[in-house]
Amino acid sequence: MNRSITHLFVLFTVLFAVLVGFTSRWTVFEAESLENQTANRRGILEEARIPRGTIFAADGTRLTRNIPRGSGKTRTYKRSYPTGNLFSHPVGYSFIDAGRAGIEKFRNRALVGKESEFGSVFQDLGVSDREGKDVRTTLDPAAQRTAVEALGGQPGSIVAMEPSTGRVRVMVSIPDFNPNEIPQRKNQLNSLEGSPLLNRATQGQSPPGSTFKVVTAAAALDSGKFTPDSVLDGASPRDVGGAPLSNAGGQSFGPITLTQALTNSVNTVWAQVGEQIGPATLLKYMQRFGFNADVPLDYPKDEIVPSGIYGEGGLVKADSGFDVGRVAIGQGGAEGQILVSSLQMAMVASAVGNGGVLMEPRLTDSIVSKDGRKEEIKPTRQSRVMSEETAGQLGEMMSQVVREGSGTAGALAGISVAGKTGTAQVDNNAANQAWFIAFAPAEDPKMAVAVTVERTQGTGGEVAGPLAKQVLQQLLGDQAGG
């Protein structure tokens, strides 16, 4: 008799363990993917009965609201976005019939009170009620608005971040959308020319042009193979990878230092640098900057596209099989084209400005429970890209670009700016992808920015430089003068 009871006890224990294991798989390990599937009606309807936590800007501006519908046990909540289009891409949206995107998706578990993973097993069994937590972002409303107005409807994107912390202060992508209209217009927006639902700041894939010379310069200086005063021949055209390469406007330079070559954005010099350091060294420093890998941003991974060298089979990670001379100047050849997002190029500027240390970018400042408990998201170091000495040398070279080179339109009154322009030809050379990356103050960087404008007729210095200036001026305030 006792043996039978023991066998039954063991059987029920095993069955209970299997049940808990099965439940845990879906409520813990597969919970996030399951919750974010619009086909999961039960989970979505359940969450509609929970008042989601509020998403705030860095200054406390409310970026989301809940609109109650019904009463008692049948009460549900619909999300509303009081700032309309302004934060559409970073904040995203959350609706029963349209799913989630942006911070709303990445921080969903906190926003609906499911931050305790194993606790959610018992919450789903009805043991406790959930209450959404608030999320305070790093985003600056005034600077965000300045960036939107600066682009003025031109397709492109702007990202600004703090080099020392990784806090993303501005994330703008144009065309944008009104998240309040997503339930009615999502399918239409998906089919519109210009792809307004695409976050160009994180998913954009554009040639960086000469802004990539900053990456090449970091590799050249930090590897010890070159100094800022190294002299090369700036003649144009020059054979690179078996084909002639010219400088902008066909201008030919004689012997020229690396500093002067960056100031004047001399293609033939930087292509030589790329060929001399070689593909293995260039790839090593690209990876330190974050290329060829997912960006560790607190944002949905399916809304981030890695920057890097793209060939027919996707990302090229081997140290052979691409035209290193042309990649070194932000272009590429038949074997592979360098394609980047503005977030990645803001990270490049940040790493130089932060003494060679790249911090992980982040959109979340803190998560706050209704009882006031706060979880602060601490700054996290991503990598040591280059030595502090190299970063100082490169920063001075970039400062000269803004003082007397192609980046003068990005200069600020009363404060030094270090930057680099880029102009990549697109649409079979019919238009330009205009770029400007920078950090300021150059001697004590507080902010880094990357601006890109699509399919323009102007250069990076002419088109993107003034936009970066406006954003930096807003973020740096009185330091930037009038």
Question: Where in the chain are the domains?
Answer: 2-137, 141-176+188-480
Q: pLDDT at residue 44 above 70?
A: no
The whole-number pLDDT of residue 14 equals: 56
The whole-number pLDDT of residue 320 equals: 73
Tell me the pLDDT band of 117, cut-offs 50, 70 and 90. very low
Retrieve residue 340's tokens. Answer: 């980047």
- Across the chain, mean pLDDT equals 91
Residue type, 176: D
Q: Which residues contact 69 (CB under 8 A, 6 or more apart)?
A: 75, 76, 77, 78
pLDDT: which is higher, 253 or 44? 253
Return the exposure string of 177-211: e unless at least 16 CB atoms fall within 10 Å of the residue's CB, then b: bbbbbbeebbeebeeeeeebbbbbbbbbebbbbbb
Q: pLDDT at residue 105 above 50?
A: yes
What is the spatial distance between Cα 412 and Cα 401, in angstroms, rounded to a whole number? 13
Per-residue pLDDT, averaged over 376-405, amounts to 98
Residue type, 256: I
Give me the residues paired with residue 156 across strands: 174, 453
Per-residue pLDDT, averaged over 451-455, amounts to 98
- 141-176+188-480 topology per CATH: Beta-lactamase (3.40.710)
Q: pLDDT at residue 128 above 50?
A: no
What is the spatial distance between Cα 119 and Cα 117, in angstroms, rounded to a whole number? 5
Per-residue pLDDT, averaged over 443-471, amounts to 98
The whole-number pLDDT of residue 478 equals: 61
Per-residue pLDDT, averaged over 438-466, amounts to 98
Q: Is 427 left (phi over 0), alpha (psi -120 to 50) or beta?
A: left
Cα 249 to Cα 219, 245, 281: the distances in Å are: 27, 12, 30
Q: pLDDT at residue 12 above 70?
A: no
What is the spatial distance between Cα 369 and Cα 237, in angstroms, rounded to a whole number? 62
Per-residue pLDDT, averaged over 68-95, amounts to 94
The whole-number pLDDT of residue 38 equals: 53
CATH number of 2-137: 3.90.1310.10
Per-residue pLDDT, averaged over 77-105, amounts to 97
Tell me the pLDDT band of 125, cut-offs 50, 70 and 90. very low
What is the spatial distance between Cα 203 and Cα 77, in angstroms, rounded to a whole number? 31
Per-residue pLDDT, averaged over 197-203, amounts to 98
Per-residue pLDDT, averaged over 363-386, amounts to 97
Q: pLDDT at residue 404 above 70?
A: yes
Q: pLDDT at residue 218 above 80?
A: yes
Tell me the pLDDT band of 126, cut-offs 50, 70 and 90. very low
Residue found by looking up tokens 């942006």 in the block: 102
Tell me the pLDDT band of 418, cut-offs 50, 70 and 90. very high
Q: pLDDT at residue 368 above 90?
A: yes
Q: Considering the chain, what percentage of its residues have pLDDT values greater than 90? A: 78
The whole-number pLDDT of residue 122 equals: 44
